[in-house]
Amino acid sequence: MNYTDIPLHASIQNALHKKGYTTPTPVQEQAIPVILEGRDVIGIAQTGTGKTAAFSLPLIHHIVTTYHAPLTRRPRALILAPTRELAAQILESIHGYGRNTKVRSTAIFGGVGQTPQVRALQKGVDILVATPGRLLDLVQQQHVVLSEVEYLVLDEADRMLDMGFINDIKKILSHIPSRRQTLLFSATLSRSVERFAKPLLKNPHKVEVAPQGATADRVEQRILFVDTDKKNELLIHLLNQEHLDKVLVFVKTKHRANKLAAMLSKNKIRARAIHGDKSQNQRIQALKSFTDGSTRVLVGTDVAARGLDIDDISHVINYDLPLDTENYVHRIGRTARAGAEGVAYSFATPDDKALLNQIQQLIGQEIPNMHHEYHSETARNAPEKKISRGRKKRSHNRNRSRPRYSRRR
């Protein structure tokens, strides 16, 4: 199937053509026709599979083809996202897809002053992307009226529930008409998500492009057993290899993210930290520098594991294993996106044995053990593969033919 086989408005088709997008991803191929029919949808898909386009393309189509300009210009579509970064990325995608239309869109989220956001709302908006907390604040201040919402999208619903947004979302829903089309996307379909979704969606069509717990096919996973006091040395050893050119490092705490980024910078490795205590401007600058290559290593907590859509991340390093085993899947999914390849290294200390077993049970496979000079004496007897100091024969994400949809969310 090509995009031209999907009955999207000509202006959207033109935008896709100019971007060089010809072939929809599996989640787009399955979801877009059903959404265009007006049905509610539950989509189970990881980030990086193209799900942002799966819901935003039909929303833009609906608004363009049923276009009306009421004096209020209140939102007709509302997209809720768990984080500022994801909200901003969704808005950027909508701007790109709707560049040839009169559809107005904006995003509102916390961490920055609300005045510019209020001004944008006052000018009128068709599609509103928002984080639950800031949206509820502006609704209560009567800066946002949701009485004309026809389409509701809940993106990364599992993450929003994990972050404690359920009460805010319920309050927001009380302001939205019950007669609407609802789309819910989640990386997993846990019992809590199912309970949450049941009263919101009417006879939903289910789209699932990967089994729960599945990891990206093209991610080369490796466990590196190491004693806790040798982690920094091992990290520097890895990063001194030339082929690790765009690396996302995950840690447990915000304090450790700051400390590790400072340590790497001191060792002449360009690094920055990103986490929830950083201001919005600091987070934007960190992402920008990582995207454009001026920062080689981005050190983050699990706030960075979900929703980041950055091309060509060559490696993910789990400096600390995630306490929530499902976050392992989300973390390593930052590399090997949309047909590209990547590598995920995970450090495991003697105390991580139970956690590692849980991760391997979740993904349904044993992660190979890689030998290195800081190898823990407590490592299991498992097949080992040595780390080369030179460039690997297979250079991940470089000069590789990638699908035309590779930048799609």
271-284 pLDDT, tens digit each: 999 887 777 778 87
Phi, psi (degrees; rounded to nearest 5) at 77: -130, 135
For residue 142, is it left (φ>0), alpha (ψ between -120 and 50) or beta? Answer: left
Closest CA to 339 of 261, 381, 400: 400
Percentage of the chain with pLDDT > 70? 84
Facing residues of 220 across strands? 343
- The pLDDT > 90 percentage for the chain reads 53
Q: pLDDT-derived band of residue 237, with 50, 70 and 90 as boundaries? A: very high
Question: Which tokens go with 385?
Answer: 């593969």
Closest of 357, 361, 370, 338 to residue 221, by C-alpha:
370
Numbered ranges of CATH 3.40.50.300 in the chain: 3-208, 219-363
pTM, rounded to two decimals = 0.65
Alpha-carbon span 101 to 289, nearest angstrom:
31
Please report the beta strands in 83-175, taking only residues with DSSP state E, as ranges in sequence order: 105-108, 127-130, 151-154
Q: Side chain identity at 364, as an amino acid letter?
A: G
CB distance 98 to 61 below 8 Å = no
| Token pair listed for 104 | 């107005």
CATH class of the region 3-208 = alpha beta
**pLDDT at 236 exceeding the cut of 90:** yes
Nearby residues of 290 by Cβ (< 8 Å), 6 or more positions away: 246, 272, 298, 310
Instruction: Compute the distance between CA of residue 290 and CA of residue 309 in angstroms, rounded to an integer.
Output: 12
pLDDT category of residue 114 using cuts at 50, 70 and 90: very high
Q: Which residue has the tokens 């080992």?
A: 384
pLDDT at 159: 84
Band of pLDDT at residue 395, cut at 50, 70 and 90: very low
Class for domain 219-363, per CATH?
alpha beta
